Amino acid sequence: MNSITLLAQQAGSTYYDIARVHSMPEGWHWLLLLLVCAAVLAYVIYMYMRDSVELSRGLAIGLVLLRVVGFVGILIWFLDVEKKTESKLVKHSRAVVLVDTSQSMGLRDSSSSSAPAGPSRIELIVDELSKGSLVEDLRAKHDVVFYGFDQTAKPVEVATLTKKSDETDGESAAAKASEEQQAAFATSRVLAAIAGVLLLISITAGLAHLFVGNLFRGFEGQSYAVLFGLVMLLGAVVVFAVANLRSPETSALALVGLAEPDFSAAASGQDSTTGVDGDDAEQPEPELIPNWSDELLARGTETRLGDALRYVVNKERGGPIAGVVVFTDGRSNEGADAASAIAAAQEAQIPIYPVGMGSDKRPANARIVDLEAPRRVYPGDDFSLSGYVQSYGLGGRAAKLELYSSEDGADNSAEAFEEERRITLPKDGELMPVKFEVTPDETGKRVYTLRIVPPEQDHDVRDNEKTASVQIVERKNRVLLIAGGPMREYRFLRNLLYRDRDTTVDVFLQSAPPGISQEAHNVVYEFPSTAGELFEYDCIVGFDPDWTKFDEQQIDLLDRWVAEKAGGLILIAGPVYTPQWAHRRRGDKRIDTVRALYPVMFDSRGISSFAA
């Protein structure tokens, strides 16, 4: 903002104020002051009249006059006469323009599904700001601030344009100030000339007294020349002081005509009071209109309308805000609720003018809503991928689904085609499930991508695909067999699992001595005592185990394995050890935990009959 603009904003007047008036509010204060002044003045006159009885009358009056002038000066100092300049700073009202820059503003709307799409929503705003009359209309009355907002809580300031009429108003105010300054200087020159004339008369009277008064020494009238010269001298000083007060920024030499007045110094002084340098005042920078198409780009992932409004309301609260204009499509708002921000704006008396962008009808669109897939599969095993298709305004149209797969982290060029399916799009809003059967051959993590090739009328290509990650692992099932003794069921299952290529079987035969050989991948002689060892098993099968030989830590690990890791526990009762631990009374924490793992209720009668 240049000095002309600031000059237009500041309008003031200069006046003189008696500060002592504010400290003497009562009437008797002034009455007492008048009495004191009258008494002092009478005393001064009386004393000097007595002291000057031997002097001529003119000289005596002159001396009294000097003393009275001194007393008047002291009185003026006591009254504390001050020169004050009162300025009025005019702040322009502000208009704030919020522009939604989320990705949805890049959509192109059309009146029907068969009509070609026009410019995008953000392009319509850019066109209006660049070629329309909105910016000029707002600048005619307000300073205008433009913000863009999307997924961030704080909107980004794009541009600030000042009121359009500032330059014209500033030039007229500067011209008026210059005219007033020149008129004041002309008056001061006249007063300075009068002061010069009075000074010349005073000097003439003094010289007349010195050279001519000696010829008439002893006459009463010869002393009046001194009195006359003294009065003229005092008048010259007072008139010149008034001239200086009328134009204080002009030097004394300029007032008497010995130098040219420098009005630029006064202008720079005024600029310094407003905080603007002289260089800026002489060469104001032109205000540039931003390139709206570069500043307003629809690339935000979210629309935080409530956060943007709340930020503007808090920033402009209490200021000269005229209103907030909001350009948005109003969809998929995140962050703070817009209703609370509007309530805050109403409380701050800030009007909001929303401008809705986009069509009042939902745009034609076909999209992949989701792609479901298992997290883990095995090589050679078939698994299903379920895709869900949804459409609006395109029901009954033909579309094509394409399924691709790629290694995790690979780019699109490395995708492998899996399957293609032609479908008929469902009615508006309906979900259409589509299943694909896939048989993986290699291990590793693969990313499956389902794409839809929609009709040409589709308005949003960003939702035309979904991905799902599948971990393909080649891992054998680990099974632990626990048996109190070599039951036939135990031997049968051990041999069966040992011959299965997808299973690794470990056996823990409690009655077997150390070093015995069995048909198993691994023979253990005690139950795992750490979570790392136990949690590696997918299934545990117990054949009439003797739970009394397990310590409390091992039982707790077994309970955690079932509860936390969803381990598969198969328990088979037997006639040897099951009756021994099942008939025990409650109180043994180990046995109570084991009882809770069995899917049956134990009682003494059932146990006795089972043992028999």
Residue 609: which pLDDT band, with cuts at 50, 70 and 90?
Answer: very low
- Return the higher-pLDDT residue of 521 and 19: 521
What confidence tens digit (pLDDT) does each residue in 213-225 have?
A: 555 555 555 566 6
- pTM value? 0.47
Q: What is the pLDDT of residue 332?
A: 61
Q: What is the pLDDT of residue 477?
A: 86
Q: What is the pLDDT of residue 217?
A: 54
* Angstrom distance (rounded) from CA 535 to CA 560: 9
Q: Is 253 exposed, middle or buried (0-12, 13-18, 19+ CB in 10 A)?
A: exposed
CATH class of 365-472: mainly beta
Q: Do domains 365-472 and 477-611 have the same CATH topology?
A: no
What's the chain's average pLDDT? Answer: 80
Q: Which of 6-10, 23-27, 124-128, 245-249 is most confident?
A: 124-128
Residue 189: which pLDDT band, with cuts at 50, 70 and 90?
Answer: confident
Q: What is the pLDDT of residue 258?
A: 66
What is the secondary structure of 525-547 as a DSSP string? SS---SHHHHTT-SEEEEES--G
Residue 5: which pLDDT band, with cuts at 50, 70 and 90?
Answer: very low
Q: How many helices (H) and strands (E) does the chain have?
A: 20, 20
Q: Which of 139-148, 172-181, 510-519 is most confident?
A: 139-148
* pLDDT for residue 212 is more than 70: no
Summarize the confidence of residues 478-491 as an average pLDDT: 92
Sketch the domain layout of the chain as residue ranges: 20-79, 94-162+290-356, 179-282, 365-472, 477-611
* pLDDT for residue 282 is more than 50: no
* pLDDT for residue 309 is more than 80: yes
* Angstrom distance (rounded) from CA 550 to CA 326: 72
Q: What is the pLDDT of residue 202?
A: 76
Q: What is the pLDDT of residue 610?
A: 42
What confidence tens digit (pLDDT) does each residue in 33-49 have?
A: 788 878 877 877 777 76
Low-confidence winner among 1-15, 313-327, 330-344, 411-425 (lowest mean pLDDT) = 1-15
Token readout for 416 is 């492998």
* pLDDT for residue 434 is more than 90: yes
**The CATH fold of domain 477-611:** Rossmann fold (3.40.50)
Q: What is the pLDDT of residue 262?
A: 66
Q: What is the pLDDT of residue 492?
A: 93
Is residue 326 within 8 Å of 309, Cβ to Cβ?
yes
Token readout for 313 is 């309301």
- Return the higher-pLDDT residue of 15 and 612: 15
CATH class of 94-162+290-356: alpha beta
* pLDDT for residue 284 is more than 60: no
Low-confidence winner among 213-217, 238-242, 373-377, 576-580 (lowest mean pLDDT) = 213-217
